[in-house]
Amino acid sequence: MFPKWNEYNITIIPIGGSNIGHQDPDVLAKINPNIAVVLDSDLKSESSKLSPKKIELKQKFERHNIQVRFWEKNGKKVRTIENLFTKDAINEALNITLEEEVGPYDDVPLLVGRELVKRNPDFDEAQLRDDEFCRKKYNKIKHGKKIAKKMVELGHVPSDVEELLRNILSKFGLNPSSS
């Protein structure tokens, strides 16, 4: 999306939702003052509210002048980064057949995991009813990277994600539109 990305000296580090609360904003800011945090909302429906833990985490970083954003698609917060994935990118990247487009609050690891289970010639129907078994078949890092790469190849990057990155770069004094 940004031809001069490497010149910006920016690294995206997935540290996982459960680990971010343990991060010290002061330490992160000393390493590099140009920090932004993008969080999963973990919302399960459009009417859901951010959990007190998410609000507290957002405030913790903002008190240290670290910008905090949530993943969005079509102007609305989505449950996780996986909810930004498109059906076509998932199917092509993982060689599975997801029938419906991913919704903003779907349990994507479960949906994808079920399709990965079906790919195994020895699977039985009981495995498909075991949600935890299916979720474990989806590997957030390995599968997520493949799907994200495929989304870029297919031109499926949501405009909200592009806008989020442009805003972050702009706050760092970088002009991504001239890239």
Tell me the C-alpha distance between 165 and 175, whole Å: 11
Residue 142: pLDDT band by 50, 70, 90 thresholds?
very high
Average model confidence (pLDDT) across the chain = 89
Closest Cα partner for 18 from 140, 164, 161, 147?
Answer: 140
Helix ranges (DSSP H) in the chain: 17-20, 25-31, 52-62, 87-94, 108-119, 125-129, 131-137, 140-154, 159-171
Cα 134 to chain center, whole Å? 19
Tell me what pLDDT residue 65 has. 87
Residues in the chain, total: 179
Place of tokens 């800011």: 29
State residue 15's pLDDT score. 66
% of the chain beyond a pLDDT of 90: 60
Any bridge partners for residue 72, and if so which? 77
Q: How confident is the model at residue 1 (pLDDT cuts 50, 70, 90)?
A: low
More confident residue, 9 or 62: 62
pLDDT number for residue 179 = 46
pLDDT digits (tens, 9 = 90+) for 149-172: 999 999 999 999 989 988 888 888
Q: Which pLDDT score, from 0 to 100, does residue 168 have?
A: 85
Per-residue pLDDT, averaged over 114-139, amounts to: 94
In 3D space, the residue among 65, 26, 27 whose CA is nearest the CA of residue 172 turns out to be 65
Report DSSP state, residue 84. Answer: G
pLDDT tens digits along 63-103? 988 888 999 999 999 999 999 999 999 999 999 999 999 99
Here the tokens at position 34 are: 């140009």
Kindly tell me if the per-residue pLDDT of 21 is higher than 90.
no
Q: If residue 75 lies in a helix (H) or strand (E), which one and from where to where?
A: none
Distance CA 137, CA 116 (A): 7
Give the CA angle between residues 9, 10, 15 to the nearest 5°. Answer: 145
Look up residue 73 and give its DSSP letter.
E
